[in-house]
Amino acid sequence: MTQLALFGGPRSIDREFPRYNPIGREEMAAAQRVLQSGVLSKFLGAWDADFYGGPEVQGFEREWERAFRTKHAVTVNSATSGLIAALGAVGVEPGDEVIVSPWTMSASATAILVWNAIPVFADIQSDTFNLDPIAVEKAITPRTRAIMAVDIFGQAADLDALMAIARRHGLAVIEDCAQAPGALHGARYTGTVADIGVYSLNYHKHIHTGEGGVCVTDDARLAERMQLIRNHAESVVGDKGVTEIDNMIGFNFRMTEIEAAIGREQLKKLPALVASRQALAARLSQGLAGLKGLQTPVVRSGNTHAYYVYPMTVDAAATGVGRDRLIEALAAEGLAVGGGYVNLHLLPMYQRRIAYGKGGYPWKGGPYRGAVDYSKGICPVAESLHQSRLMHIGMCQFDYRGEDMELLAAAFRKVWASLDAL
């Protein structure tokens, strides 16, 4: 048996993997085309022919609609901005509650606070790491206005169950699809099942424009409201003849012409890039099969997985070795494996209930009349996974090739063969 690198043996992986970079000549030519035009942005924050942006922005939106089979696409300068616009569009008001996963990027929850509403964290499922519909329904109160379903790591949440719950209770659903573009839920793309879906185009996603995002909906009213929130709504609604002016607050969430031009080229590559991550993940799962105590990704029936992250869980009772020790051994072999993810409800903002100013607003001193709980233990599955069970590999971090999966699997197998030594 070869000695573990942790104890002085040779490393399983003795080279650096190149950084994942889907940008090529096509994107360079697209950016140059915009630069030569001299029109880097064509948005006007007024009711004008240019209210909707320039030709690249509008072209990108129409192409996204066709690619994702959705009626309306609204580009924004980030997925964070998109989530803010989506929450405003569905009518979230100060004092409302929005149910969200604790396992997501922080913006999923802080976007709720932007509207002076209250994030309510519901627990996740132990196999897919997405919102647990049972926990969501238990968290509903008379103040609940919406559910934010996060398609974490690259797989759709249990959208059928979540949509059914929302319809029973008269709630809106926003799908945070930042990590799962191109994945399927049944016959529909993730992001297109909820009332509004939001995609991310920042630099470490499957496709990117540096920064950027896209919101989609089949509802023309919601699309218009997002377009208004994106572009100085309060200056536009009067001349446009909009009478529903709640949440029509002036933001600048506009995408530039260069970003849109790059996005148009990136969009063409998305199916192949997602398929490549899926093929890599399948090969890695095959290489890891049979390792005791290690659960490779679970894909719900009817879903496909985009594998922004390759998530695993480890059972220390079966391995006899704790998760963190395994990660240490894998790191010595040359493989960076993440441990845990995040528990947003345990961040200082929520533990101390400090957001706007020092007085606890919007939890205190405003219209909120609830008693939301952020104490440790409210999301036991999420907390346990973070503390000791989750391991993950970033599949959009490096430009992996098929044969690289053999190296990754070999590192795991070497560590597992020496569990007693650990």
Which string of DSSP letters, residue by residue, matches 253-284?
Answer: -PPPHHHHHHHHHHHHHHHHHHHHHHHHHHHH
Please check whether residues 261 and 331 belong to one and the same domain: no
| Residue 149 in this model has a pLDDT that exceeds 70 | yes
Residues linked to residue 314 through DSSP beta bridges, in sequence order:
294
Domain CATH number, residue 194: 3.40.640.10
Please check whether residues 210 and 143 belong to one and the same domain: yes
Please check whether residues 86 and 132 belong to one and the same domain: yes
Please check whether residues 232 and 284 belong to one and the same domain: no
Of 267, 301, 327, which one is at a domain's C-terminal end? 267
What torsion do the CA atoms of 209, 42, 46, 222 make, to the nearest 10 degrees? Answer: -40
Q: Model-level pTM?
A: 0.97
Please check whether residues 110 and 164 belong to one and the same domain: yes
Question: What tens digit of pLDDT does each residue of 379-413 get?
Answer: 999 999 999 999 999 999 999 999 999 999 999 99
Q: Is residue 73 part of a domain?
A: yes
- Residue 15 belongs to domain spanning: 5-21+270-341+382-417
Please check whether residues 146 and 127 belong to one and the same domain: yes
Residues linked to residue 222 through DSSP beta bridges, in sequence order:
none
Percent of the chain clearing pLDDT 70 (strictly above): 100
Average pLDDT value for residue range 101-128: 97
Sheet holding 390-394, edge to edge: 294-295, 309-314, 390-394, 338-339
| Residue 369 in this model has a pLDDT that exceeds 90 | yes
Of 267, 289, 306, which one is at a domain's C-terminal end? 267
Percent of the chain clearing pLDDT 90 (strictly above): 99
| Residue 99 in this model has a pLDDT that exceeds 80 | yes
Of 267, 286, 316, which one is at a domain's C-terminal end? 267
Q: Is residue 98 part of a domain?
A: yes
Q: Is residue 360 part of a domain?
A: no
Question: What tens digit of pLDDT does each residue of 131-147 get?
Answer: 999 999 999 999 999 99
Q: Rounded to an integer, what distance in angstroms lies between the CA atom of residue 31 and that of residue 209? A: 10
- Number of domains into which the chain is organized: 2
Residue 1 has a pLDDT of 64
- Across 129-156, b (16+ Cβ under 10 Å) vs e yields bbbbbebbbebbeebbbbbbbbbbbbbb
Instruction: Tell me whether residue 95 is exposed, middle or buried, using C-beta atoms within 10 angstroms of its C-beta: 0 to 12, 13 to 18, 19 or more.
Output: middle
Domain CATH number, residue 331: 3.90.1150.10
Question: What tens digit of pLDDT does each residue of 172-194 get?
Answer: 999 999 999 999 999 999 999 99
Please check whether residues 89 and 151 belong to one and the same domain: yes
Residue 57 vs residues 13, 15, 76, 79, 220: alpha-carbon distances, Å: 43, 41, 10, 16, 18
The band of 2, judged by pLDDT with boundaries at 50, 70 and 90, is confident
With the C-alpha atoms ordered 137, 140, 145, 151, is the resulting torsion angle positive or negative?
negative
Structure tokens of 29? 């030519």
The band of 349, judged by pLDDT with boundaries at 50, 70 and 90, is very high
Q: Is residue 374 part of a domain?
A: no
Please check whether residues 305 and 262 belong to one and the same domain: no
What torsion do the CA atoms of 357, 363, 369, 375 make, to the nearest 10 degrees? Answer: -160
Q: Rounded to an integer, what distance in angstroms lies between the CA atom of residue 355 and that of residue 344? A: 14
Q: Is residue 357 part of a domain?
A: no
Average pLDDT value for residue range 304-329: 97
- Average pLDDT across the chain, whole number: 97
Q: Rounded to an integer, what distance in angstroms lies between the CA atom of residue 129 and that of residue 420? A: 30
Task: Look at residue 157 and give its three-state secondary structure.
Answer: coil
